Structure 1
Amino acid sequence: MARSLRVAPEYISKVKSALQHNGYPSQQSLATDLGLGLSTVKSFLSGKPVDYLNFVEFCNKLGLDWQDIADKRPETQPKSTNKEASPFITGAPITQPRYFFGREKELKRLFNLLKRHPLQNAAIIGKKRSGKTSLLHYLKTITTTPPEQLRYGQKSDWLPHPETYKWVFVDLQDARMQSREGLLKHILESLNFKVPAPCDLDHFMDVVSENLSSPTVILLDEIGAVLNPGSELDDTFWNSLRSLATNQTRGNLAFVLSSPESPSNLARSTGHDSPFFNIFAYSANIGAFTESEAQELIASSPIPFADEDVKWILTHSQCQPLLLQILCRERLFTLEEGENDDGWREEALRQINPFTDLLEPKK
């Protein structure tokens, strides 16, 4: 099934008539009701391609059968490209917000810490492959992503003035981020601050403390990667970052990090005693999705799954995000190939076997 659909030319007049017949005096009123941009509504009403999910929502609101009015001519369907996002993503962090599901409770708490002054620090704790990196990316992007690039009804108004925020994502597994100069330069460039020469800790502190005047969140992914003995990012470095956040930036700076365990425990186990690791008063411990979150992810498939397949996926994934993604990917692949029996399940179990450490032991 195409990821985008358009109204067939012979139905465009019917679609436009349905607007007022269903109580929408203008295109803007429909856009507002659906939480989409006016440009998306105009594209739909003029027969231009729109996202599949948005197309279905338009039809539901206008009392139309989307399968009847969709243009079925193969040559008119948008051609897939290498840049088309997969509906189920495995092995890589999710960077497009519309494909991120779950974590509603954690998002509420995290954004509550970041929407008030002074900004407060937080840690995201979870096993490998639990979705920590995806959650960091989502924090960075969701509040400024245009509505037409989100799912229908997907919440994005987490912050009162998101346009004033600056976000810096740091992948600490990147060797370039494991040197002082490389990390400091990356932060300054991400903030559009002038990089001093030399770019050392003293000059970095001066530049940030003098210029940072808007809410800023630095996202440190996999903090444990740089806490090894001999690292350039030693306690002096972390002490300086703590001072920057607590005393030098007037409450405008916060850190959110990801780690397999609490920052203070991780620091102690690696021989660090900087008070930086004690400023994370809130920890979001992430693991399995709730069943409703898992159901929402499964329901996003462009080809609906049978109820028995949904139940099987929930059972064998235990609602673990990575396992859900893998099992859904396998089922979707076979449906796209026209295979409607249960033969896919054996291969699906083989695909999740390397990650069964995520599962809870059977009682």
Structure 2
Amino acid sequence: MKSPYLVGPPIRQSFDFFGRAGQTRQFFETLDGVQAQCVSILGLRRAGKTSFLRHVADPVVMAAHLPDAARYALLYVDLSACRNAADFYGRVGRRLLGLLSPRTAPGDAAPADVYAVESLLYELGERRVVLLLDEFDHLRAADFGGEFLTELRALASVWDYELAYVTASYWDLYRLGAFAGLPPTSPFYNIFYPTPIYLSSLGPAELDELIRVPARRVGIAADDEDVAAIRHIAGSLPFFVQATAAVWLGHKADAQRPTPAGVTPRLVSEMGPYFEQWWSCFSDVERSVLLAVAGERPVERLPYDEAEIRGAAARLRSYGVLADTGGHLWADSLLFSEWLRQSSRPQRFAANL
């Protein structure tokens, strides 16, 4: 069976993008205010942040949510491709030049500092320019300099043009700002809408559509039992749902009867590197909460303050790792639960508690 699921690359075509209707609506409501507002998109690795940014920048999607979509210019910039601030401003400059002169070639020289970019924004005073800043976590690794976030704030504060930022990251802006040397009282944070948009779990209807529609394209009928099994194994983050559906329905296409016990070990092994990335970013409290939940132990007995435990659990729910039913926490994904039980790093951490 030719797999109908996209497991790996960002979604490029709008018909391949499923779910996130609530986040999409929240995104455009924030963007379409009286004046431009900045917004933070938060999600785990493989939560679909890049796909979401490409989705909202699709002209068809924009036209469906914005009454004057032609006035908006949503420009995608991948910070992981930038070594420093000059790289960043050069990439932004090329995109702004492309708006002013569509014949501008990708390799043409572009301004590489904040002042030259500001000059181009003045020329685009009639447009509402929105920079979609993917991989914003890259600030932790690249040499942007301590003044970079202050420069971004200054650019967005000029009254003669409209500029907003959409940052996509795992780390929230305050933790990234602290890494860059910004104090909690920095005015940089003031330009952002106070509530971030989390790319968390898909809803039941969204997950159902994500599984069934691609399967139908290749002549496979995913029934209720298939959907329930894939949801139980994968959880509800799109990447893991698609990876699991590809294996599960692949067995079905080959006239085999898939079972959770038959496909889970393979998928735990394949998804392990992504879970390892998650684990490296979680705080000690978050790790402890996850191990307690996976081991079906009460989180209230963990050696942390009650507020710390409650905050960690809330973050993990927002990221789509944990679910809460009637006050009872449970792991959203059998794959991640199994990885927690099998992996050596979590076990070494648990031994030190």
2:250 to 333, 340, 363: 333
**Residue identity matched to 2:149:** W
Residue 318 (structure 1) aligned with residue 219 (structure 2) = no
Residue 108 (structure 1) aligned with residue 8 (structure 2) = no
- Equivalent residue for 1:49? none
For residue 219 of structure 1, report the CA deviation from its aligned partner: 0.5
- Equivalent residue for 1:68? none
Contact 2:36 2:164 in 1 (8 A): yes
Q: CA RMSD for the aligned pairs?
A: 2.8
Following TM superposition, the consecutive aligned residue runs of length 4 or more in structure 1 with deviations greater than 4 angstroms are: 193-198, 355-359
- Equivalent residue for 1:247? 158
Work out the CA distance in 2 between the residues paired with 1:203 and 1:347.
55
Contact 2:251 2:258 in 1 (8 A): no
Gaps of 5+ in 1: 3-85, 146-154
Q: Deviation string for 1:87-134 (max 9, x for gaps)?
A: 311122212211111111111111011123311110011111111111
SS at match of 2:65: coil
Contact 1:196 1:204 in 2 (8 A): no
Work out the CA distance in 2 between the residues paired with 1:95 and 1:197.
27
SS at match of 2:148: helix
- Equivalent residue for 2:71? 164
Q: Deviation string for 1:306-359 (max 9, x for gaps)?
A: 3221111111122122211111111333344x3242268623542244155675
- Equivalent residue for 1:201? 114
- Equivalent residue for 2:56? 139
- Equivalent residue for 1:215? 128
- Equivalent residue for 1:12? none
For residue 362 of structure 1, report the CA deviation from its aligned partner: 4.4
Residue 275 (structure 1) aligned with residue 275 (structure 2) = no
**Residue identity matched to 2:207:** A
For residue 156 of structure 1, report the CA deviation from its aligned partner: 5.9
- Equivalent residue for 1:261? 171
- Equivalent residue for 2:200? 287
SS at match of 1:246: coil
SS at match of 1:170: strand
For residue 255 of structure 1, report the CA deviation from its aligned partner: 0.6
Give aligned-pair identity as a percent.
Answer: 26
For residue 172 of structure 1, report the CA deviation from its aligned partner: 1.0
Contact 1:88 1:329 in 2 (8 A): yes
Contact 1:124 1:285 in 2 (8 A): yes
- Equivalent residue for 1:125? 42
SS at match of 2:46: coil
Structure 2 CA distance for partners of 1:348 and 1:163, relative to 1, 3 Å: farther
SS at match of 1:247: coil
Structure 2 CA distance for partners of 1:187 and 1:249, relative to 1, 3 Å: farther
Work out the CA distance in 1 between the residues paired with 2:265 and 2:16.
23
Q: Deviation string for 1:138-157 (max 9, x for gaps)?
A: 1111x436xxxxxxxxx961
Give 1 or 2 for the bigger CA radius of gyration.
1
Q: Deviation string for 1:163-199 (max 9, x for gaps)?
A: 332121111111xx23333221221221224787763
- Equivalent residue for 2:267? 351
Structure 2 CA distance for partners of 1:299 and 1:116, relative to 1, 3 Å: same
- The aligned length equals 264
Work out the CA distance in 1 between the residues paired with 2:154 and 2:321.
40
Give TM-score, length-normalised by structure 1: 0.65
- Equivalent residue for 2:292? none
Contact 1:170 1:220 in 2 (8 A): yes
SS at match of 2:115: helix
Q: Deviation string for 1:213-272 (max 9, x for gaps)?
A: 2121100112121244x72x234332222122122444x211100111321222114423
Contact 2:93 2:111 in 1 (8 A): no
Work out the CA distance in 2 between the residues paired with 1:248 and 1:352.
52
SS at match of 1:199: coil
SS at match of 1:287: coil
SS at match of 1:234: coil
- Equivalent residue for 2:90? 185
Contact 2:76 2:132 in 1 (8 A): yes
SS at match of 1:128: coil
